[in-house]
Amino acid sequence: MNIRLLLLLCIMLALALGVYFCISYKSTCSALRRVPTENGLVEIVSPDCFQGLPHTADGNTIRMTESVWNSGRRDEILVHERVHLDQKQNPGAWAAFYKEAWDYELTSTPPPGLRSALRLNPDTAESPYAVWRSRYVFFVEDHPDLRTAPVRVWDADQGALCAPPPEWNAFFCDTRGCPHQWEHPHELSAEYLTLGSAAPAAQVLKKWRNSLRT
């Protein structure tokens, strides 16, 4: 077969696949109904949309399934997702807080040498890699089940995966344990502000949020 024809076929196949995935993503996450609230628009979506996990679509839109909306977890999830709305509305303020108070920097560039595929989370999609103390890169590895996708820490100095450093645990965990969603500062802060924590990181976050209100 002529090499140009083969190339053309490959390009057409790639385009067709792109269109297919765009259409299927749109249909699985399209709003079944919309509920305006005093802080953000809630879109009720199908359980196929990001495997039914609540998330934010943009700086003013929260998505969740009908069963989550009707569950006893609704208010807690709204508090959590509204923190993500604020992060999307004020990315510069959050980035400055992470840098100054938590020593984190966010980036969309994977560190050289890291081969693991990333699990896409709409709430951290802008900058999914979180670099702590300019060395430890936190991210979520891709996994068929989004709920159990493993959090990984990459030591950029050693060029290898590692456990969270003890200094990180001392700052971000309390006597009850470490946050469930510890992969990214956006998730750490949403969890702290929703569930509370005695961790030093949670205390400085609370202080910063209170200072914005006065």
Binding site for Zn ion (CB under 5 A): 123, 187, 190
Name which of 61 and 111 has its Cβ closer to Zn ion: 61
Rg (CA), the chain: 20
Give, in order, the Cα–Cα distances in Å from 151 to each of 117, 140, 184. 12, 4, 9
Q: Output the smallest distance, CB 187 to Zn ion, in A.
A: 5
Q: Output the smallest distance, CB 128 to Zn ion, in A.
A: 13
Q: Output the smallest distance, CB 55 to Zn ion, in A.
A: 7
The position carrying tokens 């205390």 is: 203
Tokens of 152: 């990984």
Q: Output the smallest distance, CB 125 to Zn ion, in A.
A: 12
Check residue 146 and report its DSSP letter: G
Name which of 168 and 179 has its Cβ closer to Zn ion: 179
Name which of 153 and 193 has its Cβ closer to Zn ion: 193
Count of helices and strands (H, E) across the chain: 7, 9
Tokens of 14: 């790639």
Name which of 77 and 156 has its Cβ closer to Zn ion: 77
